[in-house]
């Protein structure tokens, strides 16, 4: 196995799913830190993809391409024409509840989509040069995955390490686990230069309001019930999205090819406590800024009630994983990464972002944002 990563002097990135939540935050971070390294965003603009997430970024050095990772010829063309040497692969169906209602699209996007990308990458970076008698092109395929592939922990179980056996429980996590295995196999069998990261729950700007944190914020503003699945005691580890981007950057820079890295916040919270924190923070915001009661008259704080009055226990998610926790020792000790944003700060920043970006979430909620 040759380490072709080392010979990349200037990265030219293809970011799949770059119009989604984490992908768009990654592109923002990357353009700020590496303005000389061009980015092509490839995104199918599903319900979760939103070109407005890239507002202010698009230009000759950051180009958007509307298309699917399942379109292997399109991907091959981009790799050749744009001389891409690095793929950062975010594109996926990402919502567990949707995977329970309709798993097929998760298999299509997450498994077959990843297969399509791997085939395109191998063909353009390895097989075509070999056919000409040349060495493989310098390349790096980074696959973005999740802690959910490791399954569910009990309260006292040790956190997931990179060696924890896979035990995915939902159609979503099963599809991500399958994609992780494909990436591993393309390295082991064909020598594709790959890395994978498995990250915990992200939160922050541009988060689609079907996921816990943005859903709770917007429901409080609209005076709508806050649905808490089961008893609210399920535990997740939370990481501010920009820290995830920084973690991926560390893996791209210094990660060992063929290896996987856990990324997490060392920040476990029961769902009910997150909801209470969001409620308390919004109550404070309304107390400090009387204009919010005028902007959001249906919010409980506008009539002197606490946001917690909206908390409602609802039926549990089918197969609901009890707890996820990440042991992030490897990325910390080998690559020097630890989160920069505390949870308290991250939650404040996130709530402020939603208060200051009403145009964004209104367009997302009524589906009127620019799709192409």
CA distances from 362 to 223, 341, 355, 356 (A): 15, 27, 11, 12
The 8-class DSSP code of residue 256 comes to P
Nearest to 159 by CA among 35, 66, 264, 39: 264
Q: State in angstroms the smallest separation of the CB of 176 from ligand TDX.
A: 7
Q: State in angstroms the smallest separation of the CB of 12 from ligand TDX.
A: 27
Of the pair 4, 202, the CB lying nearest ligand NAD is at 202
Q: One of 29, 172, 203, 261 is an active-site residue; which one?
A: 172
Q: State in angstroms the smallest separation of the CB of 205 from ligand TDX.
A: 15
Residue nearest to ligand NAD (CB): 20
**DSSP three-state, residue 98:** helix
Beta-carbon contacts of 133 under 8 Å, excluding residues fewer than 6 positions away, are: none
Judged by beta carbon distances under 5 to 8 A according to partner kind, the member of ligand NAD, ligand TDX, none in contact with residue 187 is none
Judged by beta carbon distances under 5 to 8 A according to partner kind, the member of ligand TDX, ligand NAD, none in contact with residue 228 is ligand TDX
Q: Beta strands 140-146 and 194-199: pairing type?
A: parallel
CB 23 within 8 A of CB 50: no
258 torsion bin: left (phi>0), alpha (psi -120 to 50), beta (else): left
- Confirm whether 61 is a catalytic residue: no
- Confirm whether 172 is a catalytic residue: yes
What are the residues binding ligand NAD (CB under 6 A)? 16-17, 19-23, 42-46, 48-49, 68-70, 90-94, 109, 113, 144, 146, 176, 199, 201-202, 208
- Confirm whether 148 is a catalytic residue: yes
Judged by beta carbon distances under 5 to 8 A according to partner kind, the member of ligand NAD, ligand TDX, none in contact with residue 49 is ligand NAD
Give CA–CA dist 283/355, Å, rounded: 13
Q: State in angstroms the smallest separation of the CB of 314 from ligand NAD.
A: 21
What are the residues binding ligand TDX (CB under 6 A)? 94-96, 146, 148, 201, 211-212, 215, 227-229, 234, 236, 271, 317
Q: State in angstroms the smallest separation of the CB of 47 from ligand TDX.
A: 14
**Which residue is it, tokens 């996820």?**
324
Residue nearest to ligand TDX (CB): 146
Answer positive or negative: Cα dihedral of 29, 179, 155, 208: positive
Rounded to 5°, angle at Cα 272 from 213 and 268? 75
Judged by beta carbon distances under 5 to 8 A according to partner kind, the member of ligand NAD, ligand TDX, none in contact with residue 17 is ligand NAD
Dihedrals φ, ψ of 17, to 5°? 70, 25
Judged by beta carbon distances under 5 to 8 A according to partner kind, the member of ligand NAD, ligand TDX, none in contact with residue 243 is none
The 8-class DSSP code of residue 17 comes to T
Q: One of 43, 93, 147, 242 is an active-site residue; which one?
A: 147
Q: One of 29, 43, 93, 148 is an active-site residue; which one?
A: 148
**Active-site residue set:** 147-148, 172
């Amino acid at each position: 196995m040759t380490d072709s990563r080392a010979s990349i002097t200037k990265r030219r990135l293809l970011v799949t799913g770059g119009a989604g939540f984490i992908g768009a935050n990654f592109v923002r971070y990357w353009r700020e830190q590496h303005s000389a390294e061009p980015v092509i965003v490839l995104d199918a603009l599903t319900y979760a993809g939103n070109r407005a997430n890239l507002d202010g970024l698009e230009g000759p050095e950051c180009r958007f391409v509307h298309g699917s990772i399942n379109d292997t010829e399109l991907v091959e063309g981009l790799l050749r024409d744009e001389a891409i040497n690095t793929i950062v692969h975010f594109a996926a169906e990402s919502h567990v509840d949707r995977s329970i209602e309709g798993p097929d699209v998760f298999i299509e996007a997450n498994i077959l989509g990843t297969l399509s990308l791997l085939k395109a990458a191998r063909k353009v970076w390895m097989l075509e040069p070999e056919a000409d008698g040349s060495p493989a092109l310098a390349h790096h395929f980074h696959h973005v995955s999740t802690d959910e592939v490791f399954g569910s922990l009990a309260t006292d179980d040790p956190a997931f390490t990179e060696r924890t056996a896979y035990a995915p429980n939902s159609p979503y996590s099963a599809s991500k686990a399958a994609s992780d295995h494909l990436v591993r196999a393309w390295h082991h069998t064909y020598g594709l230069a790959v890395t994978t990261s498995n990250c915990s729950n992200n939160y922050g700007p541009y988060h689609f309001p079907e996921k816990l944190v943005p859903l709770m914020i917007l429901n409080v503003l609209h005076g709508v019930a806050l649905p808490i699945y089961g008893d609210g005691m399920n535990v997740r580890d939370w990481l501010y999205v920009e820290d995830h981007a920084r973690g991926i950057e560390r893996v791209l820079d210094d990660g060992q090819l063929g290896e996987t890295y856990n990324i997490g916040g060392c920040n476990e919270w029961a769902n009910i406590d997150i909801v209470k924190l969001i409620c308390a923070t919004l109550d404070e915001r309304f107390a400090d800024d009387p204009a919010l009661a005028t902007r959001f008259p249906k919010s409980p704080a506008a009539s002197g009630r606490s946001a917690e009055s909206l908390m409602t226990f609802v039926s549990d998610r089918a197969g609901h994983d009890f707890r996820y926790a990440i042991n992030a020792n490897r990325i910390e000790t080998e690559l020097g990464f630890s989160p920069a944003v505390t949870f308290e700060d991250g939650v404040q920043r996130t709530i402020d972002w939603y208060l200051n970006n009403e145009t964004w979430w209104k367009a997302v909620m009524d589906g009127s944002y620019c799709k192409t």
